[in-house]
Amino acid sequence: MTNIWTEALRGLQPRLGEETYDLWLRPLELVAVDTDLIRLRAPSQFMKEWFENHYRDAVLEEIHSRSDGKIAIEIEVVPSEPVAPTGAHAVVSSATASMSVASKLPPPPAGLSQRYRFDTFIKGASNELAASAARAVADEPGQRFNPLLLYGGVGLGKTHLLHAVGHELHDRHPQMRIVYLSAERFMNEFISAVRYNQFDQFRRRYREDIDVLLIDDIQFIAGRDRTLDELFHVFNALHEAGKQIMVTADRTPSEMQGMEERLTSRLNWGLVADVKAPDLETRVAILRQKAEQEHIGIPNDVAVYLAGLVRSNVRELEGALVRVSTFAALKGVPITEAFVREVIGDKAKDRPLAQLTVEAIQKAVAGHFSVRIADLKGQRRHRGIARPRMIAMYLSRELTGSSYPEIGLRFGGKDHSTVINACRRMTEIQEQDPELRGTIDSIRVQLTGIRPQ
């Protein structure tokens, strides 16, 4: 009998769509099912009324199609705690708070990477339009290109430019209220605001308390109609007030469901700029800059050779350089063309090292400590498992050059910050603990076949 509620919801889900379901039905908690009454609990009065006005009839229809008797629905309101305020929220409020203390400068916007600035961005034919448009936005926010949309494949520098605009504007106008966040986070905050009846705060935060809004990866909310509606309301409000909006996407507007028309009508006031894969010359310039930043000694002709091998995107190019330099340091050899070929490989047959995967590393670490791979991917915090897990994450980063989010994903969907912490701790502990260093060295030798000098 309890199942009648679950079944009704399951029947409704395809009709309502995932987002509506998540927003309005999932938060309702089933309290009890009697013969003629289903009792539910809603987290706010608003949620209760919304459900009653919009979805109750549809749910009852589903229920009555599954049972004979008449059933009613009763909802009590039990407020629960909202999701903790996010970084974006913190930015706005801390900026506002510190403005009253005239001597104290507001902190830089949350979430911006220090490395992603204009002066570390290499311009080339592939990204020229995007980089110039980003510059113009930083020079004259809210005036020339508003909104600005950058789109292009992954790893081509869109996020880098978005952060660069945020840094530049903050440096020049410390009081400016700049908010940077991913579209995914915008969606989660929106859902939370609706669920916990804090829609007014949400509105104020995004429609009023902002001077510059930077949203990364808007493709994430394609097809999420309510979130999109809300985002476009935000766009309208900000645009009308002359505030700057800049967004990125990994595909064109026409490839994002529900966005093209609304985006392009707004983009008639703004600009869409694409970012393409960089040409050889740009890739070489990026490599040389990265090598300099990381103090990696790589001769010019070898950089050209490496840039010729890795063409797809900049993130892979950077990963390749880090891998080559890690192995060169391990072996105690200089970075030569032959060595690059050995590590990266011209053809599939000679890329043994580059083929090291996170899975292979997990297997080796699990074997060494006699723990299960499932435990490495699991949540248990027992030291006998937590330690091997951190070692495996550390080696994955070092030997595969995968990104932190990607490693997190392969460890049972952990957050990238967990991986970052693990890598940092392993680096620290190794310095004081020769035994741990020895353990890590021997697993590395087993995986790579390379003995440290």
Total interface residues for ligand ADP by CB under 6 A: 16
CA distance 350 to 372: 31
5 or 116: whose CB is closer to Mg ion? 116
Closest approach of ligand ADP to the CB of residue 160, in Å: 4
Contact by Cβ (8 Å): 326, 399: yes
121 lies in the site for ligand ADP, by CB under 6 A:
yes
Give whole-number Cα distances, 34 to 38, 55, 239, 245, in Å. 6, 20, 52, 52
Asked if 314 is part of the footprint of ligand ADP (rule: CB under 6 A), the reply reads: yes
**Range 81-85 contact pairs with CB under 8 angstroms and sequence separation of 24 or more:** 81/196, 82/192, 82/193, 82/195, 82/196, 82/198, 83/188, 83/189, 83/192, 83/196
- Least distance in angstroms from the C-beta of 120 to ligand ADP: 6
Binding ligand ADP by CB under 6 A: which of 27, 155, 253, 401?
Answer: 155
Q: How large is the angle between the packed helices 300-309 and 314-331, nearest 10 degrees?
A: 130
How far from each other are the two terminal CA atoms of the chain, in whole angstroms?
69
The closest alpha carbon to 230, from 256, 204, 203, 200, belongs to 203
**Single residue of 48, 89, 117, 160 touching ligand ADP by CB under 6 A:** 160
Q: What is residue 101's three-state secondary structure? A: coil
Residue 313 near Mg ion by CB under 5 A: no
Listed residue (357, 382, 353, 356) closest to 369, CA to CA: 382
> What minimum distance in Å lies between the beta carbon of 225 and ligand ADP?
25
CA distance 399 to 324: 10
Pick the binder of ligand ADP from 117, 158, 167, 170 (CB under 6 A). 158
**Smallest separation (angstroms) from ligand ADP to the CB of 196:** 31
Query: Using CB under 6 A, which of the segments 58-66, 116-124, 347-355, 383-391 binds ligand ADP?
Result: 116-124
Only one of the segments 138-146, 151-159, 218-226, 424-432 lies at the binding site for ligand ADP (rule: CB under 6 A); that segment is 151-159
Q: Which of 44, 159, 400, 402 binds ligand ADP (CB under 6 A)?
A: 159
- Which among Mg ion, ligand ADP, none contacts residue 206 (Cβ within 5 to 8 A by kind)? none
Selected binder of ligand ADP within 30, 78, 125, 154 (CB under 6 A): 154
User: Quick check: 127 binds ligand ADP (CB under 6 A)?
Assistant: yes
Q: How many residues does the chain have?
A: 453
Name the burial class of residue 167, with classes exposed (0-12), middle (13-18) and buried (19+) by CB atoms within 10 angstroms of its CB. buried
Whether 11 contacts 62, CB under 8 Å: yes
Q: Which of 146, 159, 219, 396 binds Mg ion (CB under 5 A)?
A: 159
Q: Could you tell me which stretch among 10-18, 22-30, 152-160, 185-193 binds Mg ion (CB under 5 A)?
A: 152-160
Kindly give the pairing relationship between strand 29-33 and strand 37-42: antiparallel
Stretch touching ligand ADP by CB under 6 A, among 121-129, 224-232, 293-301, 441-449? 121-129
| Residue 88 contacts residue 205 (beta carbons within 8 Å) | yes
Neighbours of 318 (CB within 10 A): 19
C-beta atoms surrounding 246 within 10 Å:
27
The answer to whether the CB of 78 falls within 8 A of the CB of 47 is no
**Residue 139 beta carbon to ligand ADP: minimum distance, rounded to whole angstroms:** 19
The whole-angstrom separation of Cα 302 and Cα 333 is 14
Which residue is closest to ligand ADP by CB?
A: 157
Whichever of 98 and 403 has its CB closer to ligand ADP, that residue is 403
Task: Work out how close the CB of 113 gets to ligand ADP at its nearest, in angstroms, rounded to a whole number.
Answer: 8
Q: Give the Cα separation of 338 and 340 in Å (integer).
A: 5
Of 99 and 420, which has the nearer Cβ to ligand ADP?
A: 420
Q: By C-beta, is 320 or 335 nearer to ligand ADP? A: 320
Q: Is 182 in the site for ligand ADP (CB under 6 A)?
A: no
Using CB under 6 A as the criterion, which residues of the chain lie in contact with ligand ADP when the complex forms? 116, 120-122, 127, 154-160, 286, 314-315, 318
Using CB under 5 A as the criterion, which residues of the chain lie in contact with Mg ion when the complex forms? 159
